[in-house]
Chain A
Amino acid sequence: MADFYHTQRAMRQMRQQAMQRGVVAILDVGSSKTACLVLRFDGIGRLSEDNSIGSLAGQSGFRVIGAATTRSRGVQFGEITAMQETERAIRTAVQAAQKMADIRVDHVIACFSGANPRSYGLDAQIELEGQVVTEHEVARVLASCDVPDYGAGREVLHAQPVNFALDNRSGLSDPRGQLGQDLSVDMHMLTVDAVAVQNLVHCVKRCDLELAGIASSSYASGISALVEDEQELGAACVDLGGGSTGVSIFMKKHMIFADCVRMGGDHVTADISMGLAIPTANAERIKTFYGGVHATGMDDREMIEIGGDTGDYEHDRRRVSRAELIGIMRPRVEEILEEVRARLDAAGFEHLPSQQIVLTGGGSQIPGLDGLASRILGQQVRLGRPLRVHGLPQAATGPGFASAVGLSLFAAHPQDEWWDFEIPVDRYPARSFKRAVKWFRDNW
């Protein structure tokens, strides 16, 4: 338990250093693309003299000065499977972004989508030592959460206190300074496979970069794709990525659930490739140009050259109607959305007061997806694009960049997590005291 506490704390310190230097890179390692944004932090600046443009929901403290995207390699289902390839992809993206920013970046905040995220709700209640809730008391109540046995080989990625209750008053976001007797906390903890995190850390290290933070991409895309009232009232964000589909549920501006479906746009492409017997590159191309989920009469007549590079004229000149293409794509998209529905049901999404669902990610650009999704997920479905941040190039404003933009917001204003509070002394393992004693004995 203490291990991840210390590693996360070290990353927070690294983030502080990056803030002092004023430049940090955002790295979204996805299955289909690797995106890198370079942010410059130069304080909260007003955009206009007469104050007519406000602080843009607090993200105007930074500016995107470099952006680059490259095709991901060696990443499947949002997890790194070939380290060398992924390292090269990261290098490509970081180099191009640095070149655009014309500045060297040393700190990077990364996110990834896969690695079987699993949410846990923790709670704890303590009796206050004094009357006033202090930082120490908050740390104590956070430390007294009994952590479930999340299994070996798993690592805690997020541990965010989402709700504090003081005596019989609940729904406190920050109880510090208030008076009471009993303090209780609800905490949301997200664990992922440790191997995936270690692989990512290793890749980033190999690129001579320091990891200043790590986040789940479903969380990041939720931050950027959900508008403020949706985050407040409760909404689910579905990030249709390349290799995996992230699901996150927000409530009262906190993420309370995250999960991922190990299917995404790459599977649709693979289906097209298999069904039409064409190369993956061609399949990807006709998917993005002609793809859809609702066939109409017009689509029967629209013939698509699907190509091929066998040298056989007949084979390379094949044409399919757009309706056929849609017929291949639709079942897979339906499958993904049904899987998402299952995850939302498992999380108890139907009990939330608001049933808003926001689709984002590169896969949400399929024409007609909102109609299909509303049939499967519920009536309140909309397509979400990431928030507009300062200096973001036009090419990076699409829904595919939701998690990159969300990670930028996360980098600028990270939510308080467990490791932002000092761990109480009595929780320190006895080993470190022994080590200190030993050090004294050795040296004096």
Chain B
Amino acid sequence: MPKELIRLSNCTMAFDDEVVLDNINLYINDKEFLTLLGPSGCGKTTTLRIIGGFQMPTSGDVFFDGVRINSVPPHKRAVNTVFQKYALFPHLNVYENIAFGLRVPRVEEQKNEMGKVLSRRKVKLSEKEIDQRVMEMLEVVNLRGFEKRRVTSLSGGQQQRVAIARALVNKPKVLLLDEPLGALDLKLRKDMQNELKRIQKAMEITFIYVTHDQEEALAMSDTVVVMDGGKIQQIGTPEDIYNEPKNAFVADFIGESNILDGIMRSDGVVEIFNRQFACLDSGFEKDEPVDVVIRPEDVDIVPENEGQLKGTVTNVTFKGMQYDIIVDFYGFKWLIQTTDLSPVGSRIGIKIDPDGIHIMKKSQYSGMFGDYSSYSEEYEEISDAAYEPGEDGQEDGDEK
């Protein structure tokens, strides 16, 4: 039975009447890797800053280990942060950056049996202890031998490791990571994902991770919290989020999706384009309008006369592992991923297995996503809600 460590209860955050977080309820378990995922401006960074103590919620409560910590300042929380741009101290070398938290004198309280504070004294770690802990951390992040280097002379990935070591050296119960891999190139990002996962397992602490990169979220997390518009859209394991998206926003944001209007005719039967398909979902009203999600990889291409639906290929993109083809079905364009090439202009049929069809209740996001008619070479970015022109993976919209 996992132990609850942090709880946000009815947290709302507003800056000058602009609601950034809207009544967030969330609990985070001990030793969990939890990711806050969403497009810029969705409130994920604000949520992280509330947990870190850099911002106080306008209303609502934050609990840590059952204790309300709304007004506890950052330096008194058992939480440390890895900042978006690392925020390493440029005037200190690698060693001193990591030792920074260790050199802060701690207040040690002596209490009597009744729990009353008898005396307080400041305790400093000895140089030997500091040295030992710093070296330990350098080992954890694989930076042995870099102690004396200036942080400005390090590569992005190395700086990232220093930032992680610096945040971990005080042995926090929770590590907050604000888009820590945003500035790294793809290859390094993949390596660091594994690295972070390994560190989290080794240190046995809770990681709360903020990102707008859904792949990263799926690959690393125990729990993913999908956010948009200051609200939590869905909480679940990566598999849940991918396989059973709660609404069109989640379906679109996580992976590629064709999202169609459908009507539930009965349990296990959904009607799309006036054709009935078998599905596994039940519990809807009879004839209830729904959103239907079909993942591009769940579609089988068959000869035209064998298909449940028939359409024309309008675009083909070679992606290495597969072709991404756009198929026009009765004016609605689908994205289908296939390993067999179907040339542009050819007529094809498709089949969809019942477990490839996911039914969602209609929501405010219905009709906003899932149509690939605006397809272009950049369709991924256009269909990805996180994409903002001129933005390079940084999330500035959240920072106030």
Whether both chains belong to one complex is answered with no
Query: Which residues of A pack against B, CB within 8 Å?
Result: none
